[in-house]
Amino acid sequence: MARLSLQNPEYYLNRDTSWLAFNGRVLEEAEDTGNPLLERLKFLAISASNLDEFFEIRVASMMQQIEDGYNEAGPDGLTLFEKRDILAQSTHRFVEDQYDCWNELRPAMAEQGIRVLAMDELGAEARRFVDEYCEKELDPLLTPVTVDPAHPFPRVINKALCLGLLLRRRRRSALTYTGVISVPRSLPRLVRLPSENTTDFIFLADLVAHHAEKMYRGYDIVAAAPFRVTRNSNLYLQEEEARSLLESVRAELHNRRKGDAVRMEIEADADPEIIERLRTVFELDPWQVFPVNGPVNLSRLFNIYDETARPDLKYRAFAPRELRLTAKSQNFFEELRRHDVLLHHPFDSYDAVLSFIESAAEDDNVLSIKQTLYRTNEHSLIVPSLIDAASRKEVTAVVELKARFDEAHNIRWARDMEDAGVQVFHGLVGLKTHCKLSLLVRRDADGVRSYAHIGTGNYNATTARIYTDLSLFTANPEVTRAVHDVFSFLTAYAENPSYEPLLVAPLDLAEKVTALIDREAEHARHGGTGRIIAKMNALLDKNVIQALYRASQAGVEIDLIVRGICALRPGVRGLSDRIKVRSIVGRFLEHSRIYYFGNSGEEEIYIGSADWMPRNLYERVEVLVPLRDELLRERVRREILDAYLADNRKARILLRDATYIRAWQPVHGKRNRKPPTGTAAFSAQDFLISVAEGKQAGLAPAPSAAKKHRAAVGRER
């Protein structure tokens, strides 16, 4: 067989179409009748929120590059113009699928007494409520605009709900004018209606349209339609020239609301004249206009989920497992002196992470605290703990101001901490601080010792309930010393020759990851067992992909569990026929990064903050840490990774043609939504909940069904 060129564009999948495929898997969960009804609604809202960000960031960046004259091809061989044309078709198909789903969910909800009503469906009591709401709550916040030489088109902020109108003066009926009403974000987009036996809502857009006639006295409203514009939300910072990164980010946040328009959503039955006038105002190409068969903002369906007290239509609640100390330990620090502790959230409670930092703030024996913060919840308990500790001990916080869409929170936290005496740093010029590190120095009875927490997820108690992540606590001197050195790198740009046993980006992580992959290939070439299992959010880096291709060619068996973007094409004969790729989309967002290397029986497992993407490997400060405790490695391998490889309920398998199929679906033939009768369903997340509740031993079943399916996929390829 001729040697295959690893530069061949056919061997690399397009990142944006791969991301859309991931969002399609989210939408599939909304379509899945096996999920509780309100959870299906929530998945639909998540898919809409995801698509918003995709346009704000990815599509906006692509359009900016085209405008600047760039048209280079990426690793997949597609130019920017070609990608734009592909996205123009695929995003419209996706939006059509979203609204097909909504129009299936709405009657199903109505059967359960959860109704989203139109104005002509309101009873007398509800109509009285609406009229009063419009007069007292809505009208004072609205400013109707008629566009004419004295009144220019108003500035419409990013993703704001608006009503566009065609108006005709009653005195001069020959001319039509454009009218615009922007709705303040302080009002709920779904208004709860009074009702006794049902849970009723009405969209705010319908109320604005209903009330518009009273706001445009002297006009006839020829037509009206709600619309929503999505704008470029990228930050463009010149860090080297900025006097203060904090002030620079703050200024750019203000400008973000004024970014160029990249998409307009508008009701499908809107008057064509309204659509054309708005398209011209926002300078959009026709493909950037999305007529929708329903509400213009599906992400607001979260409101229905939050305000509907129907636990029977939601996932069963469960209590996460609390950390228990062994009988010999008086406190958590003593426990860590005996052995490392690994927690798997949300199955293990996140309270231990919060307690680690809170107790350090209160413990007089703790001399210093160092903490990274990338994203944290609005009512974080961590930041107040750091502020409280600053008056009694040394506290250092590295706050990433450029964490997308969390910049405002982080600016506020940074200022509050600085005012309290915390030493606040904003990381390094040109690099985001994405690693999840906490380091305590404590005076124990036998001397001064350091304790560290290294995580795969953000210090955010809210997302910790819905994201799967790992937390490692350790007092290992080599690890804590290396964590200390990483903080020195973040605060002083002080580079060490080595950060062993940690892998640190952008210093050595990429090089060492490829070396670990190459080592498995060497084992296979010399008759040993080559084995790699890698779980991550995204796989995009070309160097890592090529290392995986080489390992597959050498005989290494590779399982990749990639939630979102995957640019690697599996199943190419002679190149990647030993690589299997699966994605898990379910109740919890799969967020943990786990990297397993068989190493001919001397297995190694790393966890941390880095995906295998260029931005993680070269543009961010990231950390991977090895699990040195054999019991912890056994747990990750047999309880966690084996469970994900055995999943045949929420797993999708990536085929060579870039499509995904359910793990239980045939490679050929009809793709049913439901598994065939008699299929033994296994969900990794359900299994891990059962383990946390003590209903099941922490040992995943052998993934025999998955192996059988992978063999069939291999034959197909």
Q: What is the pLDDT of residue 475?
A: 98
Convert the pLDDT of each residue in 611-624 to its tens digit.
999 999 999 999 99
Domain identity same for 358 and 470: yes
Q: The whole model's pTM is what?
A: 0.91
526 is catalytic: no
User: Mean pLDDT, to the nearest integer, of 296-324?
Assistant: 94
Across the chain, mean pLDDT equals 90
Instruction: Report yes or no: 30 and 290 within 8 Å, Cβ to Cβ.
Output: no
Query: Which two structure tokens, joined as six digits, stand for 250?
Result: 């703050």
pLDDT at 241: 43
pLDDT for res 404? 53
- Lookup result for tokens 């927490």: 453
pLDDT of 61 > 60? The answer is yes
Could you tell me if residue 539 is inside a domain?
Answer: yes
Between the alpha carbon of residue 632 and those of residues 341, 343, 708, the distances in Å are 8, 10, 28
For residue 362, what is the domain's CATH number? Answer: 3.30.870.10
Per the DSSP assignment, residues forming a β-bridge with 577 are: none
CB atoms closer than 10 angstroms to residue 319: 9
Domain boundary among 282, 313, 344: 313
Neighbouring C-alpha atoms within 13 Å toward the C-beta of 325: 13
* Contact between 44 and 98 (Cβ < 8 Å): yes
In a domain, 327, yes or no: no
Residue 372 resides in a domain = yes
Q: Which two tokens stand for residue 389?
A: 């500790």
Predicted confidence band of residue 246 (pLDDT cuts 50, 70, 90): low
48 has a pLDDT exceeding 50: yes
Query: Is 13 exposed, middle or buried (CB count within 10 Å of its CB: 0-12, 13-18, 19+)?
Result: buried
Average pLDDT of the segment spanning 291-297: 95
Question: 34-43, 413-422, 460-469, 554-563: which range is least confident on average?
Answer: 413-422
Name 622's Cβ contacts closer than 8 Å, sequence gap at least 6: 434, 435, 504, 505, 506, 509, 608, 609, 610, 616
Q: How many helices (H) and strands (E) does the chain have?
A: 21, 27
Same-domain status, 488 and 512: no
Domain assignment present for residue 677? The answer is yes
336 and 224 in one domain? no
Please tell me the least confidently modeled range out of 121-130, 583-592, 672-681.
Answer: 672-681
Of 436, 464, 496, the one marking the end of a domain is 496
Q: Specify the pLDDT at position 479.
A: 98
- In this structure, the answer to whether residues 668 and 576 fall within a common structural domain is yes
The 3-state DSSP class for residue 82 equals helix
The distance of Cα 227 from the centroid of its chain, to the nearest Å, equals 26
**Rg of the chain (C-alpha set):** 27
Q: What is the mean pLDDT of residues 270-288?
A: 96
Q: Are residues 541 and 630 in the same domain?
A: yes
Q: For the ranges 114-128, 235-249, 491-505, which has the lowest average pLDDT?
A: 235-249
Q: What is the pLDDT of residue 408?
A: 64
Distance CA 264, CA 146 (A): 20
Tell me the per-residue pLDDT of 560-583, one tens digit each, with 9 for 90 and over: 999 999 999 999 999 999 999 999
Residues 536 and 511 in one domain: yes
Single out the residue in 313, 343, 370 at which a domain terminates: 313
Q: Is residue 341 part of a domain?
A: yes
Q: What mean pLDDT do residues 425-446 have? A: 91
180 and 145 Cβ atoms separated by less than 8 Å:
yes
Q: Return all residues near 17 (Cβ < 8 A) that are at least 6 apart.
A: 86, 87, 90, 658
What's the rounded mean pLDDT across residues 364-383? 87
Please indicate, yes or no, if residue 2 is contained in any of the structural domains. Answer: no
**pLDDT the model gives residue 416:** 85
My answer on whether 141 and 35 are in the same domain is yes
How far apart CA 588 and CA 463 sit, in angstroms, is 10
Q: Which of 109-118, 219-228, 707-716 has the lowest mean pLDDT?
A: 707-716
Same domain, 564 and 688: yes
Phi, psi (5° rounding) for residue 171?
-80, -35
In this structure, what DSSP letter does residue 34 have? T
Residue 427 in this model has a pLDDT that exceeds 80? no
Which helix H or strand E contains 642, and what residues bound it? helix 642-646
Q: Containing domain of residue 472, as a range?
A: 332-496
**Residues 466, 421 within the same domain:** yes
For the stretch 147-202, pLDDT in tens is: 987 788 988 999 999 999 999 988 767 788 999 999 988 899 999 999 989 999 99
Residue 3 lies in a domain: no
pLDDT band at 708 (very low <50, low <70, confident <90, very high): very low
- Band of the pLDDT at 469, cuts 50, 70, 90? very high
The reported pLDDT for the residue numbered 128 is: 95
Do residue 475 and residue 532 come from a single domain?
A: no
Q: Is a pLDDT exceeding 50 seen at residue 715?
A: no
The amino acid present at 269, given as its one-letter code, is: D
DSSP 8-state assignment for residue 658: S
What's the mean pLDDT in 579-603? 97
Contacts 24+ apart (CB under 8 A), 249-252: 249/401, 249/402, 249/407, 249/411, 250/407, 250/411
Spatial distance between the Cα atoms of 138 and 205, rounded to a whole number of angstroms: 11
278: nearest Cα among 178, 206, 169: 178
Cα–Cα distance for residue pair 234/404, rounded to 1 Å: 8
Contacts of 624 (CB under 8 A, 6+ apart): 502, 503, 509, 513, 593, 595, 606, 607, 608, 609, 610
**DSSP letter for each residue of 571-622:** T-TTTTTTEEEEEE-SSSEE--EEEEE-GGGS-EEEEES--BSHHHHHSEEE
- Percent with pLDDT over 90 in the chain: 75
**Residue reference for tokens 């005195």:** 171
Counted domains in the chain: 3
Residues 269 and 168 in one domain: yes
* 280 and 396 inside one domain: no
CATH number of 17's domain: 3.30.1840.10
Question: Is 349 contained in some domain?
Answer: yes
pLDDT (tens digit per residue) in 92-106: 999 999 999 999 999
Q: What is the pLDDT of residues 659-684, one digit of tens each?
A: 999 987 766 555 555 666 666 889 99
Angle between helices 80-111 and 60-67 (to 10 degrees): 160
pLDDT of residue 714: 41
Phi, psi of 374 (to 5 degrees): -105, -60
- Output the pLDDT for position 409: 66
Q: What's the one-letter identity of residue 432?
A: K
The single residue of 210, 409, 426, 434 carrying the catalytic annotation is 434
